[in-house]
Every structure is written in structure tokens, then in C-alpha cells.
Amino acid sequence: MVKKGFEIVGDYQTEKRMKQKLQAIPLPNLKGKRVLDIGCDHGFWCHHASTLGASYVLGVDRGRFVRGAGHVHLAEQNNAQGWPNCEFVEYNLGEVWPILGVFNVVFCFSTYHHWYPIARSHDKVWKWLRQHTAPYGMVLWEGPPDTKDPIIRQRLKEENLGTETFTRELITAAAEKYFEIEIVGPAIHRPHREVWKCLPK
């Protein structure tokens, strides 16, 4: 059964937060485009890309603990929605580096600060992103560029990494090996986060 709408069911993709993100993130024309959503959570951006005419949308996330629901296999749950042109797969990126294809637009929203502490390498993350971005495509990135954000400080502590490993200088140095970076502006839903548009070199 195909569900036409997106039902807010998660603990992160709330109505208020998604409205703020839509205001902060400048989506390009997605009609006929292939879209990859990294850290897709409950599938809001995948569903949204589908409604905007994307020809194929692939969402990637790990299973995780969801407040009020326990451990959830997000890919399995999202696939059950039957949204047009959408597919979901489960990987814990950073532990594994699957090759998923080439995409016109890659979403990397509110996930880098979870992904990097597992990968322990900014270069590996940005290289993987470049491998999945078409020559005239783009990565839209939203996240903390330094440790002013309390969540990245907690994640670094959990993975026994020092705060000196997560700086704007290190992140941009790795990103600029593969992309031209344009800082779009602040992320509205959280202080200390930014939105970047990344065009492949």
C-alpha cells in the first residue's frame, strides 16, 4: 500500500524541526534526479524528495533506539511505507563503506557528528561522499562544524576521541580535497550548526 503523506512518527523528525530545516536548507530542483539521503531516520527527506519529482531516492541509516519505541530497524520500517521511487537500506556508515551508486543530490543532514566518531577520519567520509556524487551534482550538508555543539562533544567522549579531532579546519581541509564548499548559512533548528552546499571538484 502506498502512503501519500509523511506521518510524523519519530523523535527527531518532528513537525517543528522539519519546518525549520526546510527554511534553512536550499533544495535544488529534484525533478528527475537521483537522491541519496544519508542518515535518513524516519524518511522525511526521502518522502519529500519523492513528492518533488525525484526519479529515485535511496535512504541509508542504521537501526537505532527511538525514544518511546525502543530499537527500530529504520530501513525496514521505511520500506513498509511504500513511498513512490523510495528505497531504504540499513548500514552503520563508518564501520562499513558500501558503494551505493552515483546520485545527483546527496543529503547529509544532522548525521556527520554521528558518522565521523565511528569513521575516525574526515577524509574517509568526504571521499565516500564524493564517490557517490555525480560530476555536476551536489552534497547538501548540515551539521556542527566544531565542538560548540554539545552532541558532538558527547559523541567524541563516547568514542574516546579528543575535541581537537573535530575542528572547522580539519573538516573543511578534508572536504575541500573533493568539493568546492559554499557556506549557505546557519541551521535554524539548532545553534552552532551550519548548512553547506558542496560541489564536486
Q: Which residue has the higher pLDDT, 7 or 171?
A: 171
Lowest mean pLDDT among 17-26, 61-70, 146-155: 61-70
Q: Could you give the CA distance from residue 84 to residue 176 in angstroms, rounded to a whole number?
A: 35
What is the enclosing helix (H) or strand (E) of 138?
A: strand 133-143
Checking 169-174 for CB contacts under 8 A at 24+ apart, the result is: 170/122, 171/112, 171/122, 171/145, 171/146, 172/145, 173/122, 174/122, 174/123, 174/125, 174/126
* pLDDT value at 7 more than 90: no
> What integer pLDDT is reported at residue 2 of this predicted model?
38
Q: Could you give the CA distance from residue 63 to residue 44 in angstroms, rounded to a whole number?
A: 16
Task: Output the average pLDDT for the chain.
Answer: 91
Predicted TM-score (pTM) of this structure: 0.93
Q: What average pLDDT does range 81-108 have in this prediction?
A: 96
Q: What is the largest CA-CA distance in the chain?
A: 49
pLDDT in tens, 99-143: 999 999 999 999 999 999 999 999 999 999 999 999 999 999 999
Give the three-state DSSP class for 22: helix
Task: Write b or e for each residue in 131-160: b if 16 or more Cβ atoms lie within 10 A of its Cβ, otherwise e.
Answer: ebbeeebbbbbbbbbebebebbeebbeeee
Give the three-state DSSP class for 168: helix
Boundaries of every domain in the chain: 34-91, 110-201
Half-sphere exposure at residue 169, Cβ-oriented, CA atoms within 13 angstroms: 3
Q: Which residue has the higher pLDDT, 50 or 8?
A: 50
* pLDDT value at 6 more than 60: no
With cut-offs at 50, 70 and 90, classify the pLDDT of residue 3.
Answer: very low
With cut-offs at 50, 70 and 90, classify the pLDDT of residue 9.
Answer: low
Give the three-state DSSP class for 53: coil
Are residues 72 and 64 in contact, defined by beta-carbon separation less than 8 angstroms? yes
> What integer pLDDT is reported at residue 73 of this predicted model?
84
With cut-offs at 50, 70 and 90, classify the pLDDT of residue 192.
Answer: very high
Q: What average pLDDT does range 90-107 have in this prediction?
A: 96
Q: What is the DSSP string of 78-103?
A: HHTT--TTEEEEE--BTTB------E
